[in-house]
Amino acid sequence: MPLSATNELMGQAHAADAPLVFMLLLGLCLVVIVANLETRRMDSRVVAVLGVLCGINATLRLIPGPLGFSAVFFLPILCGYVFGAEFGFLLGTLSLLVSAIIGGGVGPWLPFQMFAAGWTGMVGGWLPTFQSHRRLEISLLMIWGCGAGFLYGAIMNLWFWPYLLAPDREQSNNGVLWQVQLGLSDTLLRYGLFYLTTSLWWDAGRAIGNVLLIGLFGKPILRLLRRFEQKLNITS
């Protein structure tokens, strides 16, 4: 990022507690899968489909795009919408893990990326369904895809923003860095300025990419996913 304060502390943020967060997140995913198997909301076939979709989504993340564009949110949003919030959460979380292993992106930021991506798929499962109004359905998904593009970046900044320090401590009160004594309103104002100056355009690329992918390919992918839903009898 262009901010000079993004020194080595950015790489060290959460270096100590990231392994614990990672293990807790994987444990949560395992609990969700086992619970769904026990209640027969998922079976071995659904788990196999989840694995295949994780592989596909991990590959999509490796495709480079302009600015902050990434196709990794496309499938979790649509699959969460069709198969349910839990499936969307698992797909977003586990596909980020697979892509990080493949692309060498493992670091203290990974569990936070996994959680944020899983959250975008989970919210997709909470959206109201309009199968009889396909245009409204796609429009709703496009709106959430746009919002998710910005919210993902805004949330991900929080894993390192409080750890940033200005090169000169006397100039740390530069209007964008966090300080312990700040109140809630000042903290939100500083973070808003930090977001506008460092992340907005990258997140705009991600949001626009989500809108374009859902608008261009949303209908055929939804039809395909619903065929799988009927065959596998997935209950959302």
Give residue-wise pLDDT tens across range 54-90.
999 999 988 877 777 889 999 999 999 999 999 999 9
Give phi and psi for 127, each to the nearest 5: -70, 145
For 52, list phi and psi in degrees, rounded to 5: -65, -45
- pLDDT band (50, 70, 90) for residue 186: confident
User: pLDDT value at position 15?
Assistant: 64
Which are the contacts of 180, defined by CB distance < 8 A and separation ≥ 6? none
- Residues 6+ positions from 117 with CB-CB distance below 8 Å: 72, 73, 76, 92, 93, 95, 96, 152
CA-CA distance, 18 to 14, in Å (whole number)? 5
Compute φ and ψ for 192, nearest 5 degrees.
-60, -45
**Is the predicted pLDDT of residue 151 greater than 50, yes or no?**
yes
Q: Which pLDDT score, from 0 to 100, does residue 107 have?
A: 84
Phi, psi of 129 (to 5 degrees): -95, 140
How far is residue 20 from each of residues 27, 39, 123, measured CA to CA in Å?
10, 28, 25
Instruction: Tell me the pLDDT band of 3, cut-offs 50, 70 and 90.
Output: very low
Q: What ranges make up the beta strands (E) of the chain?
A: none
What's the pLDDT tens digit per position in 128-138? 988 788 889 99
- The CATH number of the structural domain formed by 14-232 is 1.10.1760.20
The residue type found at 173 is N
Residue 178 has what DSSP assignment? Answer: -
Region 192-213: mean pLDDT is 92
pTM of the model: 0.86
Q: Could you tell me the residue ranges of all domains in the chain?
A: 14-232
pLDDT the model gives residue 68: 73
pLDDT at 93 over 70: yes
Q: What's the pLDDT score for residue 2?
A: 40
- Surface-to-core class of residue 151, CB atoms within 10 Å of its CB (0-12 exposed, 13-18 middle, 19+ buried): middle
Residue 81 or 102, more confident:
81
| Phi (first) and psi of residue 179, to 5 degrees | -135, 150
Tokens of 231: 């065959």
